[in-house]
Amino acid sequence: MSSPAYLAIDAAMLSLKDEYIRTNPQSAAAFADAKRAGVAGGTNRASIFYPPFPLTFVDAEQATAVTADGQRVTDFLGNFTAGLFGFSPQPVKDAVSHAMDHGHALGGGPNLYAAKVAAKFTERFPSMQAVRFTNTGTEANSYAIHTARAVTGKNKIMVYDGAYHGAWIHGGKSAGPLDTPYEKITVPFGDAELIIAAIAEHAEDLAAVIMEPVMVNPMVYLKQVAPSDYLARIRAACDEFNCALIFDEVMTSRLAPGGAQELVGVTPDMTTFGKYFGGGLPFGGFGGTRRWMERYDPMHPQTINTGGTFNQNAICMAAVDAVFSHLWSPQQCVEHNAKGAWFRDEINKLAKAYDMPCQACGTGSLITLIWQHGPVVGGNESGVALTLATTAAVYAAPQLFWLHMLQQYNILAGNPKLNYLTLPTVLTDADYQHFLAGLVAGFVTYKEALTQLACETATAQM
């Protein structure tokens, strides 16, 4: 039976859903056209699909995107961190234009950009003595996993239940029929003793433990860095049982100049990266110590033979070079994440002032709104626990808030499935204040439904 909170939230959404459909006829038509044209399902990113149709965007600049129906929206989603520098940052446009004018595709051969970019990664991330480039974070994680299997001679990998490491690498219940058929050992986040025992049990054939150095469960990524001592214990177990520790920092590398690993003080064997470093262009990569990367040398007697026409293409290499040189210095990184921490605190202050079941969790410029009144993070003797409420109302609330912010305040507050905010650097103080005003308006407008939700989630349940 549906709870009173869910029924109230669902009723509150009815008019917003109707308004969404009524005000976006061109987006509806574009979605229908895509289906008729042969795009399978009408979208190439079904994981974030929102029924009855997604918004279609036709123009953008800085932090403002324009829909097919002319609505100008402020982007707090940042394409799940890929859009860290807003839309079409000028230094990247200039660099790409220069690369286009001087031969961008020469058979996939070397260019002068690759060495410059590699040096910047190895300088910024001490855990990486050598790197390889790819086109996406998914590819980067695949390469890192295969590298661990090649170097160790073992086959299995360990992942969190609910983990996402790219289009075809999921953990536990999230895995689907298209997942790469690694033999996976799935463990829950947070219980260090259980994870260490699982590493020991499968040590004979365990090639790698791959994880984001943040809190994960099958329903939500908090992007709140995991405790240092917890990660250090897993690090020690990987050393003891000769398996690679891979940190997937495709998203979290933005949290400090040296990534989340710098914040927690734990060094992985390999690190994967991607998304925002391309400044809007496809880019990914991975790196590690000599032990793990030396076999990518074509002259090595046991070389790992790899290809990839676009893995070091001059256009994307020029874009990454521009990002490091103009958009993402260590100081810019620190300042932006400090702004994110301030914004997270402001959200939590307002939620407390209005006694609303809304908590901004995360680290730096990665924030997730969790719609419950009880605590989100707890602890026990063996690790850290996420105490997330599992009522239907908790998963309906993000959709209500997303629709409210989009329709009433012209803001993309994450997506309808999760109010996940990956803050772009180009947001202004006025943008942040506008978001906070919309948050307060949502608290006031939907007070009855949210008060019921608060009662239902006063004590969170796993």
248 as an active site residue: the answer is: yes
221 & 108 share domain: yes
How far apart are the C-alpha atoms of 247 and 226, rounded to whole Å? Answer: 12
275 as an active site residue: the answer is: yes
269 & 411 share domain: no
Q: Smallest Cα–Cα separation from 134: which of 321, 304, 316?
A: 316
366 & 382 share domain: yes
Find the mean pLDDT for residues 141-159: 97
424 & 385 share domain: yes
Q: Is 125's pLDDT higher than 60?
A: yes
Q: Which residues form the domain of 346?
A: 4-84+330-456
Average pLDDT over all residues of the chain: 94
Q: Is 138's pLDDT higher than 90?
A: yes
- Asked whether residue 449 is assigned to any structural domain, the reply reads yes
Q: Is 147's pLDDT higher than 70?
A: yes
pLDDT digits (tens, 9 = 90+) for 350-385: 999 999 999 999 999 999 999 999 999 987 766 788
Answer whether 109's CB lies under 8 Å from 268's CB. Answer: no
Answer whether 357's CB lies under 8 Å from 371's CB. Answer: yes
> Which residue is associated with the tokens 């300042």?
335
50 & 174 share domain: no
Sign of the C-alpha dihedral computed for residues 412, 322, 363 and 214 taken in this order:
positive
**pLDDT given at position 221:** 80
Highest average pLDDT, of 243-247, 297-301, 310-314, comes from 243-247
Marked catalytic residue, from 160, 164, 182, 230: 164
- Please state, in angstroms and as integers, the Cα–Cα distance from residue 429 to each residue in 129, 267, 419, 435, following that order: 39, 35, 20, 10
End residue of a domain, out of 296, 327, 358: 327
What percent of the chain clears pLDDT 70, i.e. is strictly above it?
98
* Residue 38 or 310, more confident: 38
Put residue 210 in one of left, alpha, beta given phi > 0 → left and psi -120 to 50 → alpha. Answer: beta
191 as an active site residue: the answer is: no
How far apart are the C-alpha atoms of 79 and 422, rounded to whole Å? Answer: 8
Marked catalytic residue, from 20, 275, 321, 431: 275
Q: Is 449's pLDDT higher than 70?
A: yes
Q: Smallest Cα–Cα separation from 369: which of 219, 222, 260?
A: 222
Q: Is 462's pLDDT higher than 70?
A: no
pLDDT digits (tens, 9 = 90+) for 43-66: 998 888 999 999 999 999 999 999
* Residue 460 or 116, more confident: 116
- Amino acid at residue number 289: T
274 & 410 share domain: no
How far apart are the C-alpha atoms of 116 and 104, rounded to whole Å? Answer: 16
Return the bridge partners of 146, or none: none
- Look at 57-71, 165-179, 225-239 and tell me which has the smallest mean pLDDT: 165-179
Hey, what are 409's tokens? 């305040």
Marked catalytic residue, from 191, 248, 269, 321: 248
End residue of a domain, out of 310, 327, 344: 327
User: In angstroms, how far apart are the furthest CA atoms of the chain?
Assistant: 69
End residue of a domain, out of 327, 345, 376: 327
Hey, what are 226's tokens? 């995991």
How far apart are the C-alpha atoms of 252 and 259, rounded to whole Å? Answer: 6
